[in-house]
Amino acid sequence: FSSKQQESQQQPSAMDARNMYQTDEELDALLPSEGYIIMDPPPSYVPI
């Protein structure tokens, strides 16, 4: 039972909480929409 497996069974760490998916509404609440536009990704954009 290697520690690697143990590590993955732990409850989510504080870092996971900071990495949770944010919906558009949550982003709208966080970021100013006045004076800013949401830029559409170019067709060539491939997220890595």
Partner 1 sequence: MSLAYGKNRTTQLPANVNRILLVKNLPFKITSEEIYDLFGKYGAIRQIRTGNEPKTRGTAFVVYEDIYDAKEACDHLQGFNVMGRYLVVLYYQ
State in angstroms the smallest separation of the CB of 45 from partner 1: 5
State in angstroms the smallest separation of the CB of 15 from partner 1: 6
Query: Hey, what are 7's tokens?
Result: 């590590």
Q: If you search the block for the tokens 């982003």, which residue do you land on?
A: 27
Query: Hey, what are 24's tokens?
Result: 């558009």
State in angstroms the smallest separation of the CB of 1 from partner 1: 19
HSE-up of residue 41 (Cα within 13 Å, Cβ side): 5
Interface with partner 1 by CB under 8 A: which residues? 7, 13-15, 18-19, 21-22, 24, 27, 30-33, 35-42, 44-45, 47-48
